Structure 1
């Protein structure tokens, strides 16, 4: 095994944490049967030559009403020049490549606990490793990503043709990752379990910078599925009247190359939701306000999240060009299990006492590892954690 391959393997193994860290927290509300409709998309396949690499994503969505028994992801890299760019898809079940001197096809078989249930999406990380030194012209190559299952009833959406691109441009490169919400969190006791109607949980978003310039100021926006609302205010966010949209801004925050902004917000499932059900069409989107030149000195305060003790500095409120905007938005679902008969757990009327500790506990070491895993392809390995300071229950 070459040094490059060992390095790729170690990076990819850690990146698995980012895609699978939440899978064991609770049992999803899977429908009976195996017939279903799987669809494949990809994001984050353009990177600057100023970084060692980045994490792209193959997203497998289950658009049917059953959970398939077997799922295979295939990544055809036969047209990629590996002296410029190396692609390595990884997940827990392994992704063996053809045994040729130059691998042409990776095949990943998803483990049973990674297979998406109805309405869910599983995201398989694809490592893009920069091999080109002194690149002066953009390099791109076609890649075909496909998903196969004997239980799939519609193969029209099982394959996607994309271009992977290595560009000499410098810039910020925001990416977003948000897992499906599946777990009940009691903010008083810290107890966890299947999420049911009336329960509280946490939606956790990761906003990371995989560009070669630091982000200066960032806005990230959550939209919850119908039947789910935000329960407590965060001082950096403003909320819609229906409590389903939160627009969060920190115009002074600097996210350096290789850093990830980790943010969790408490949410509640409505008492009237009929379960079991997958509540879809949640999403998180991020955008940068600006950038700092490579090598610019950044104060320690500027890299700390905004709080009531920090001063917000004026930044032009305009969207900043991003190297690869395809991964600036990520969808998520809220998976609600059938009510066990005892009624909802948390609800929206939780006391403020214990919320801070409960939220941090819900984020947990697993999410911190997910954030770190995103950036094992970068030199720095620091995670910026944002959690509400003085939460206030909604009126």
Structure 2
């Protein structure tokens, strides 16, 4: 099937950059002891009227104690009218196709070795939703069903989820947030920080997440709420943020950080942006035991202009210290919250090293700027969003948006 559609090319290319966890082949077989409980959820399937498309996500979370040896996700798209719309996995190496190229009925995508989620971790499969016509005369909706396929799964009750793909006639902002699992320690030195191997009790880490606007209306700003897992606290405080007494949750209000719709974000390097990449430094308690600390969440909420107010400038006037403006190609509350785990390794691992990922620039004692973010990668879920929340954080610069395995 050949799509001659520029927004599709932009969305598809972006999704491919975040698709390293899935392929048409899959991971090689591993040793015994791989039984675990895998669960599935689907978010982000409503598309604003003025948006040509967006990225939805299938989230596979490991709720058990072992890493599976195999994992595949089957996407049943047989109910879609492929003369009007399309929904397909954004996977670089492709997925097994059922049906024909003109009218697919299903896709089966296999996780790579790096994409197999460890205990408490989540693997995300990006799904490209796109209009195949310039506009739709009426709202269009159809069901799609996603199913986990794994011989290692111990609970079939949470393996299937149906969602309604909706191409609405509604306009509005549509924020999406994606948070990485926290798996690496960081060292802060000489105005930057580096990954420093596995994360151990007593270490400093960085929670990294991306928020962007997939709708067709600009926001005036945004509010971000972060909840940390038990045993983890914020290392430092930041302007524009309020913390609870234990420094285990925060709310940051950025009233003057508008996010425009992706189609209005046409240039890199300016202060007109449709998305941003954020981080917060975290401290892991000295007495925390090894394992996955779950229950962490990041939520975003748009701040809209007051009714009747004059249109505001789209340019970000006061950029938050812990945000870098980024361009993203691309009304739905389902993708406004993302969970994450803080994965603490047993002592004796690779923690404490200098790492080989290079430094991230900081703007001061408070949360700093993450620089060199490639626009297309952010559209796929963030410059350092890795579909499997893999062990490495990859930095890219515009023109060099290439993921590593």
TM-score, L = length of structure 2: 0.76
Match of 1:225 among 215, 229, 237: 229
Structure 1 equivalent of residue 65 of structure 2: 65
Structure 2 equivalent of residue 317 of structure 1: none
- In structure 2, the residue corresponding to 1:69 is in which secondary structure? coil
Contact map agreement 1:216 1:254 (CA 8 A) in 2: yes
Structure 2 equivalent of residue 81 of structure 1: 81
Q: Which runs of no fewer than 5 residues in structure 2 stay unpaired?
A: 22-30, 263-273, 323-330, 355-360, 384-405
Distance in 1, Cα, partners of 2:248 & 2:303: 24
Distance in 1, Cα, partners of 2:256 & 2:369: 27
- In structure 2, the residue corresponding to 1:326 is in which secondary structure? helix
CA shift at 1:263, angstroms?
A: 1.1
Contact map agreement 2:178 2:381 (CA 8 A) in 1: no
* Closer, same or farther: CA 86–197 of 1 in aligned 2, 3 Å: same
Structure 2 equivalent of residue 178 of structure 1: 179
Instruction: State the Cα deviation string for residues 113-171 of structure 1 (Å, max 9, x = none).
Output: 00101111111100101224443422110111111101111111110111100001111
Matched, 1:324 2:326: no
CA shift at 1:289, angstroms?
A: 2.0
Contact map agreement 1:204 1:262 (CA 8 A) in 2: yes
- In structure 2, the residue corresponding to 1:201 is in which secondary structure? strand
* Closer, same or farther: CA 243–253 of 1 in aligned 2, 3 Å: same
Contact map agreement 1:200 1:268 (CA 8 A) in 2: yes
Distance in 2, Cα, partners of 1:363 & 1:306: 11
Distance in 2, Cα, partners of 1:108 & 1:201: 32
CA shift at 1:280, angstroms?
A: 0.2
Distance in 2, Cα, partners of 1:331 & 1:343: 24
Q: Which runs of no fewer than 5 residues in structure 1 stay unpaired?
A: 22-30, 309-322, 347-353, 377-395
Match of 2:298 among 284, 307, 314: 284
Structure 2 equivalent of residue 91 of structure 1: 91
Instruction: State the Cα deviation string for residues 222-241 of structure 1 (Å, max 9, x = none).
Output: 00101111001111211111
Instruction: State the Cα deviation string for residues 332-371 of structure 1 (Å, max 9, x = none).
Output: 001111112899799xxxxxxx854799999465787632
Distance in 2, Cα, partners of 1:367 & 1:153: 39
Contact map agreement 1:172 1:291 (CA 8 A) in 2: no
Matched, 1:235 2:222: no
More helix by share: 1
* Closer, same or farther: CA 301–87 of 1 in aligned 2, 3 Å: closer
Distance in 2, Cα, partners of 1:235 & 1:358: 11
Matched, 1:272 2:287: yes
* Closer, same or farther: CA 361–345 of 1 in aligned 2, 3 Å: farther
- In structure 2, the residue corresponding to 1:156 is in which secondary structure? helix
- In structure 1, the residue corresponding to 2:347 is in which secondary structure? coil
Contact map agreement 2:46 2:167 (CA 8 A) in 1: yes
Contact map agreement 1:53 1:128 (CA 8 A) in 2: yes
* Closer, same or farther: CA 73–329 of 1 in aligned 2, 3 Å: same
Contact map agreement 2:362 2:369 (CA 8 A) in 1: no
Distance in 1, Cα, partners of 2:241 & 2:32: 39
CA shift at 1:51, angstroms?
A: 0.9
Q: Residues 113-152 of structure 1 correspond to what in structure 2 (within 5 A)? A: 113-152=114-153
Q: Residues 152-167 of structure 1 correspond to what in structure 2 (within 5 A)? A: 152-167=153-168
Structure 2 equivalent of residue 46 of structure 1: 46
- In structure 1, the residue corresponding to 2:55 is in which secondary structure? strand
TM-score, L = length of structure 1: 0.78
Aligned residue-pair number: 345
